[in-house]
A and B are shown apart, each in its own frame.
Chain A
């Protein structure tokens, strides 16, 4: 395989990992591991917003690539698949065509269907409302609100307006819908419905990745993810707070 092709495979794997929510050290390890499998000596530097890679090709010229990462989602299945893919390359360095086919089949994975995710986005708040010792009625209200805010969030993410806008709007939607729910059925408890329905928007992945990054010495990325977590939490919180202050006082 040519040096350029090796880098292409490595970059593609790294990009998929990073957009799937992997830790920084895992991305760097994977890129370097793929390059080493083909006897290419590479130096790689990864930030949550980009991958930088430099190698020396056969003629002794340095070759450098930068891949900017703009969209970050969470897809742990792809992280796992790419991880085992790169390990299999280490034992059995396949040809460029085969490697690309393997990578593309991982990237093309659809994951769970949208309908199932919507349903699950409803069941999660339902389970948490019950876990916080809520009544069945509160759990059902959270179920509906959970589905609605997941739908809103996905729609906004698809159009892609601003980074944290979808969190703000979903938080506000959760607040408004919960206030509406208790106005319609006054016997329900407001706080359980809201907590249960915003729980899946909380930045669990950002925080865990931030810690792992710090542990491996990637302090810049760690700060980045911590800030991201704070921004997400703040956006959701402000959304809920606006809905609550307006909803409880004037309606």
Chain B
């Protein structure tokens, strides 16, 4: 419960730094919160950071695309602050630390993990926005079925 609240604060605050409008801030908070809940649940269940990041990003993507349609705001407003709790900060830090301590083998291993997490987040967002764009594309095609 405490972590959920912290994830909520942890995405509202970057929202303020990115100048998200006041009436949208609370929705930004829920976005980060849902992403974090998914991420931490699957991180414990599946014990895979990459999978958990991916699923977290998918949830953030679905949430922000649907809320964007409801509130008539760009989806970026919600997804950018929303993915911040998922960012692989610990992995990135460990990579840097290993490089600083000249343990290049560990650095490579941690670095690949970090990049996979970042890639998984990116792919999660990509997948959801692609799916949400499908109906629009299909609707456009219907008038002239060539």
- Contact surface of A with B, Cβ cutoff 8 Å: 21-23, 26, 74-80, 83-84, 111-112, 116-117, 120-121, 123-124, 127-128, 130-132, 150, 191, 194-196, 198-200, 202, 204-205, 207-212, 214-215, 233, 237, 240-241, 244-245, 248
Contact = CB atoms under 8 A, between A and B. Distances in A.
Contact of B129 (A21, A199, A215, A241): A215
Contacts of A80: 21, 24, 73-74, 77
A77 B28 CA distance: 13
A233 B17 CA distance: 18
A244 B19 contact: no
A240 B96 CA distance: 8
B92 A191 contact: no
B96 A131 contact: no
Contact of A191 (B16, B83, B90, B99): B90
Contacts of A84: 72
B103 to A, nearest CB: 12
Contacts of A204: 14, 80-81, 83-84, 87
B17 A208 contact: no
B77 A79 contact: yes
User: Which range holds the interface residue count of chain B?
Assistant: 35 or more
Contacts of A127: 6-7, 9-10, 13
Interface in B72-103: 72-74, 76-77, 79-81, 83-85, 87, 89-90, 92-97, 99-101
Contact of A124 (B13, B122, B126, B133): B13
A123 B9 contact: yes
Contacts of A196: 89
Nearest to A109: B19
Interface string B9-37: 11001111111110010000000000010
Nearest to B133: A215
